[in-house]
Structure 1
Amino acid sequence: MKRWGIELLLVAVVTIWGINYTIGKYGVAELTSIDFTAMRMVIAAPILLLITYWIEQSLKIDRKDFMRLTLTAMVGITLYQTLFMEMIKYISAANASLIISVSPIFTTMFALLFRQEKFSFQKLIGSFTAFIGAAIVLLAGDHAGQSQQIIVGSIIGVLTSMCWGLYPILANPLIKKYTPLRVTAWSAVIGALPLVVLSGTEVFFTAFTLQPVTWFSLLYSVFFVTVFGLVVWYIGIQKIGSTNTMVYMYLTPLTAVIFAAIWIDEHIYLQQIVGGFIIFIGLWIVKYQKKRIAAPEPNFKN
């Protein structure tokens, strides 16, 4: 496939992910966040395993790596996916998407903490700038009568962003050894187990009584957000590189805001626009490098 074709698919993925900030709200209107995520992962995990085996002809993970894989799955699947659904139940799609856009800052902070990167004032200034933008976003809008709900949702949003920021730090040693798709497929399997225990198996017997709009939200999340989104995302990483692929993540808040405004008539405040702009300035400061250093190619294990 030509580069323009891959980039067009990546635009489709970030658009799908942006729309999910609104579509996901329908799922948690009838189901709890844990129940929704449990059903989603139970359906998506075997599909991801089949796709991984079809592409790579192997699902092997060394026994010594299962402890880190389990921790990665708990953070990136069990916690992040559940907190994400809980977050969008409480706050607007615009605020939720902009809070999650701060996750690369948390990635930088955790990378410094775990000594995967060196400290620099550039990263400190960029992180501080992004947090100022996030604070402006959280203060946006008319909160009268909803202040407690928005505060709860915002706290959950920050925790969600932290989980998404920590996920690549935990996964980094695994991704250097295995393909990202294999790590994600096994993470989905392992991450689904505690969700099933917490939700209880009876939740799956209620599937036949769910409203059509709930099923629409669930299937959209399974097939478009998880399966199609992740597979295309990792094809992008493989074909055009992780840096060129990650740039497309910055389009997600834009699609989330536009779709929410059109679909559910969500009001866009000037503070959200200003805060989002400041967040992206902070991200640019953190990520900007005067000299590009080529990273060694990972040695994926079959």
Structure 2
Amino acid sequence: MNRFKIYLLLIAIMFVWGVNLPAVKYLTAQMGPVTMTSLRIFLAALMVFGVLFSFGLVRKLTAREWRYVGIGSLLNVVIHHYFISVGLSLTSGTNAGLILGASPILTAIFSLSLLRLRPSKLQWIGLVLGFIGVSATVLSGNSETSRISLGDIYVVLAVLGQVLSFLVISKASKTLDPRLQTGYMFLMGSVGLFIISLIQEPGEWRMFAEMNAAFWLLMIASGVIATALGHMLYNYSLGQVGPPKAAVFINLNTLFALLGSAVFLGETITGLHVVGFIVIMFGVLFGSGAAEELWRMKARKANRKKAL
């Protein structure tokens, strides 16, 4: 798959993750967030393995690959999903959005120091623009840039766990299909989250029997489409274009989350949201390397015309 198709795929994934926000907010309000998340991730694992089995992509892993899966499930599933679910219940949406918007910058920094992947000057500009756009979007109409709370610390830990997992997935992709790694990570991570839920939310699993049809419809849709297919395709894209380029698209997640909240939750979109959208789009264009590739393509065409 060429780079531009990967970029279009990443935009589609961000759209799905963004509009998934209202569903997740509804689900976490119905029962303990860790218990609910453990089942949602388990459903995602079943979906991923179902897809991979149909394509004959499931295989035994080597000892080295199991180490990557274990580290990835701890970082990307247990730590990320635990701290994001608990953190969002303890801090404002503004603070959480700003912290999550820093993910691409952190990914670039860790990639630079640990993987020796050096973003170009334009990519650094794109990462900064993306962060500015996310900040403008989240701060629009909201004055709750409040003090640092325990919830903020939890969200920071969630972002760090996810960012570090991107590097693990990128390194493992040399021998292990990221889609298969996603399935194993979800399976192991869901078990870990369920164990945590038994300690932190004892007896909460009994609430599943009392949930209505709307809950189960959203649970299945969120687990299968947003979590399973979304993460499987995102991790595949991560292995194709590298952590810094893939992570910059996370900026779009905030934008689509706001649009989803406006449509499904009736929240208002302001002029500053529009400004944030424009800045985010430029950030993605520069940060992903798409602008540089377009310029290179134009330069090659111009050179061919001169040669003729």
Which residue does the alignment assign to 2:41?
Answer: 41
The 10-residue stretch of structure 1 (196-205 or 34-43) with the greater mean CA deviation from structure 2: 196-205
Cα deviations by residue, 1:185-227 (Å, 9 ceiling, x for unpaired) = 0111121222111111744332101244433332221122123
Q: Pick which of 55-64 and 80-89 moved more.
A: 80-89
Q: CA RMSD in A?
A: 4.1
- Is 2:64 aligned against 1:76? no
Whether 2:170 is the aligned partner of 1:172: answer yes
Give the aligned partner of residue 209 of structure 2.
208
| CA 126–211 in structure 1, closer or farther in 2 if over 3 Å, else same | same
Q: 1:141 to 1:280 in 2, by over 3 A?
A: same
For residue 190 of structure 2, the aligned residue among 189, 192, 198 is 192
Residue 55 of structure 1 is matched in structure 2 by: 55
TM-score between both structures, scaled by the size of structure 2: 0.72
Paired residue for 2:306?
Answer: none
The AA in structure 1 aligned to 2:71 is L
Deviates more, 1:124-133 or 1:185-194: 124-133
Unaligned runs of 5+ residues in structure 1 are: 294-302
Deviation of residue 175 (structure 1)?
1.2
CA contact (8 A) 1:136 1:275 kept: yes
Residues 21 and 97 of structure 1 are in contact (CA less than 8 Å); yes or no, is this contact kept in structure 2? no
Q: Tell me if structure 2 keeps the 8 A contact 1:112–1:118.
A: yes
1:17 aligned residue: 17
Matches of 1:21 and 1:96, distance apart in 2 = 13
Three-state SS of the structure 1 residue aligned to 2:20 is helix
The 1:18/1:8 distance shift into structure 2, 3 A limit, reads same
Cα deviation, residue 179, structure 1: 1.0
How many Å separate the matches in 2 of 1:95 and 1:276? 19
Displacement of 1:111 in angstroms is 0.3
Separation in 2 of the partners of 1:210 and 1:47?
22
Paired amino acid for 2:75? V
1:98 Cα deviation from its structure 2 partner:
7.3
Contact 1:261 1:267 (8 Å CA) reproduced: yes
Partners in 2 of 1:127 and 1:11 — Cα distance? 16
Residues in 2 aligned to 1:236 and 1:109: alpha-carbon distance in whole angstroms:
19
Cα distance in structure 2, aligned partners of 1:229 and 1:259: 16
Task: Work out whether residues 25 and 88 of structure 1, in 8 Å CA contact, stay in contact via their aligned partners in 2.
Answer: no
User: Counterpart in 1 of 2:139?
Assistant: 139
Q: TM-score, normalised by structure 1?
A: 0.74
Runs of 5+ in structure 2 lacking a partner? 297-308
Closer, same or farther in 2 for the Cα pair 1:167/1:191, shift >3 Å? same
> Deviation at 1:62?
0.6
Q: What is aligned with 1:114?
A: 114
- 1:280-291 equivalences in 2 (<5 Å): 280-288=281-289, 290=292
Where does residue 270 of structure 2 map in the other structure? 269
Which stretch shows the higher mean deviation, 132-141 or 53-62?
Answer: 132-141
Amino acid at match of 2:174: K
> What is the percentage of aligned positions where both structures have the same residue?
22
Per mean C-alpha deviation after superposition, the further-off stretch among 60-69 and 183-192 is: 60-69
Aligned to 1:298: none
- Structure 1 residue 141 displacement after superposition: 2.1
- Offset from partner CA, 1:240-282 (integer Å, 9 cap, x none): x658x95976654443222211221112233344344434444
CA contact (8 A) 1:27 1:218 kept: yes
Letter of the aligned partner of 2:191 in structure 1? L
Contact 1:133/1:279 (8 A) holds in 2: yes
Deviations 1:51-89, CA, capped at 9 Å, x for gaps: 323323532111123222211111111122334444655
